[in-house]
Chain A
């Protein structure tokens, strides 16, 4: 700790400010899903993830999220760190990042490090520096807390592979949902440079898991899996294409999470749409759709029936789906399976399990649902309880839709900014089927 002289200190806090501001548009802050112990040294990774603070925009702060450098050689028009953008530039040394991380961690400010970087000099040079930072932390500082590293598209895979042996999570950001848009907005990035490391990381994670199952005890490879980020609204792809892409990433690349980031016009750029405010509502609906695919057994095609290519932003996609299927509703809660229950709008997985459990003691009525904490504000339109329907005289999709839109308008506005990471604070958190609990702030980003 003593290697920081007074003059160096000045520099360090300035760097910290610049390289924090440059990293904050990357939306992921999750620290969950890993499990790392220690045998000496400092730190471990908690499987459930822990929030350490909340910023004034209401987001959970869990990791020290910084760039190693913002001295970018690329000119991606959506990104704040683009080479031709006039803003202060800085680079940390691996030692500086390692010391900051350990000292923040010891004081319990953070759960770990999320290190990304602009492409300084070349992708391989940048990846090597990311690797060296992780190496220093794990080997020299004996740090066993959470590390999320960016894999830099176009870097030598051998370096990415070595870095993955130290990281809990890795991510390669796709950013733009089609090759066409990449060409227009990020001419230095190639689709294959992004997809190839993603595919290889996915394969190596699988392989490591297999080895572990077979009893191998040494070594880890990205135990919390990989994630990626898509920018929404900087390019013309419709929601169906985005959600279909995500579905494929989950299925084929063993992706743990896809983050969506409403495009924030951080600068004027050629080929960019003339947006004034980030499309937050669209971002929110995409998170809900993503959630339905990952947790509620929906197929992406079910969300875009009848030739629609965009979601109906007025209501959450589950409600829209239900209203398109009047033949399935209302559902009698005393005579339905778990899979049917979770498809009732407004009802989450926890409520569904509570109902299933409670039913073992005989059929349940409305008072009882209330007692066990099942909220039916929206669900009441889609279910009956002991044959009784409380959504009005009878189930009329058009009328229900009108009512829901009327009540949800204000709610969406209020909640749009209520964005935090899921999985960070779930113990005891009142359940909801609203993946808003997922959403996060966003914008154009680095790498």
Chain B
């Protein structure tokens, strides 16, 4: 059986799709080189990542299918779910057959499954747009630690770079040791470990205190419903939230 191995990047995945669609190899699995291969794999093809080719594939998807399909693929990739790559290839093959109507074909595998997963990633992105908490650092820049389920850092960056365009800020995915750094003109990915950080500014503690007081005063007594609170704001997010910490 044929297995593709790629470098784990989104570009690498798109190049794997390219190869699968252009050849008649029909791989049974596409795995990142960080993952251990199943011993059964009889033939492993190592896929080379080429930025230009990846871009062509991406544009091709948008043109021949839809930008929604392109987004679904990106979001599912960011879910980091094991085995998602080969399902994405099936989704894409179907897409190139049926074109723009791909996402209406809910009865054909794996369309609904892909949509559901992409939705979950989108949901976490949207939730995190609200739950990111910046701390002001002693040189005036802002720092926010997050630990999302999915690898959504790159999906948050555009939102904050337009909203906070006049500020220097860092959003740090602590579970992946990955950060986005914005310097008032553009944002870049970088590897970051927690030890590298400066301390908080003088006002920071005071504003955290005000926020907690505000948060506590805003609840309406007699209508407590902590179960519902946890449903919207699951406990796993609490440790990076000022008000729930």
A336 at the B interface (CB under 8 A): no
Contact A1 B203 (CB under 8 A): yes
Partner of A16, one of B132, B160, B213, B241: B213
B106 at the A interface (CB under 8 A): yes
A16 to B218 CA separation, bound complex (whole angstroms): 10
A50 to B131 CA separation, bound complex (whole angstroms): 9
A361 to B108 CA separation, bound complex (whole angstroms): 11
Contact B167 A42 (CB under 8 A): yes
Query: Given that A61-B215, A425-B126 are contacting pairs, would A53 and B166 also be in contact in the complex, using a CB cutoff of 8 Å?
Result: no
Size range of the chain B interface in the assembly = 35 or more
Contact A357 B104 (CB under 8 A): yes
Partner of A427, one of B123, B214, B241: B123
B142 at the A interface (CB under 8 A): yes
Contact A55 B207 (CB under 8 A): no
Partner of A52, one of B107, B130, B222: B130
A202 to B91 CA separation, bound complex (whole angstroms): 48
Provide the B86-107 mask, 1 if CB < 8 A to any CB of A, else 0.
0000000000000000001111
B243 at the A interface (CB under 8 A): yes
Q: With a CB–CB cut-off of 8 A, which chain A residues contact B209?
A: 13
Select from chain A the residue with minimum beta-carbon distance to B162: A44
Contact B232 A13 (CB under 8 A): no
Q: With a CB–CB cut-off of 8 A, which chain A residues contact B165?
A: 38, 40, 42
Contact B210 A371 (CB under 8 A): no
Contact B220 A24 (CB under 8 A): yes
Please count the residue pairs between chain A and chain B whose beta carbons lie under 8 angstroms apart in the complex: 171
Contact A20 B218 (CB under 8 A): yes
Q: With a CB–CB cut-off of 8 A, which chain A residues contact B122?
A: 427-428
Chain B's nearest CB lies how many Å from the CB of A357? Answer: 5
Select from chain B the residue with minimum beta-carbon distance to A61: B218
B163 at the A interface (CB under 8 A): yes
Q: Which chain A residues numbered 134 to 174 have a C-beta less than 8 Å away from chain B? A: 142
Contact B166 A42 (CB under 8 A): yes
Contact A20 B232 (CB under 8 A): no
Partner of B232, one of A37, A51, A357, A417: A51
Contact A441 B220 (CB under 8 A): yes
Provide the B203-245 mask, 1 if CB < 8 A to any CB of A, else 0.
1001101110111011110111111110111000000011110
A324 at the B interface (CB under 8 A): no
Contact B232 A9 (CB under 8 A): no
B187 at the A interface (CB under 8 A): no
Chain A's nearest CB lies how many Å from the CB of B136? Answer: 7
Contact A54 B233 (CB under 8 A): yes
Q: With a CB–CB cut-off of 8 A, which chain B residues contact A427?
A: 122-123, 126
Chain A's nearest CB lies how many Å from the CB of B42? Answer: 35
A85 at the B interface (CB under 8 A): no
Query: Given that A20-B214, A51-B232, A53-B243 are contacting pairs, would A107 and B134 also be in contact in the complex, using a CB cutoff of 8 Å?
Result: yes
Q: List 25 A-B contacts (CB under 8 A).
A: A4-B206, A9-B206, A12-B210, A13-B213, A16-B213, A17-B213, A24-B217, A24-B220, A25-B220, A40-B165, A42-B166, A42-B167, A51-B232, A55-B219, A56-B224, A57-B223, A57-B228, A62-B130, A64-B214, A106-B142, A106-B164, A108-B134, A371-B107, A428-B123, A428-B126
Additional 5 contacts, C-beta under 8 A, given A16-B213, A20-B217, A55-B229: A37-B162, A38-B163, A100-B210, A142-B166, A418-B225
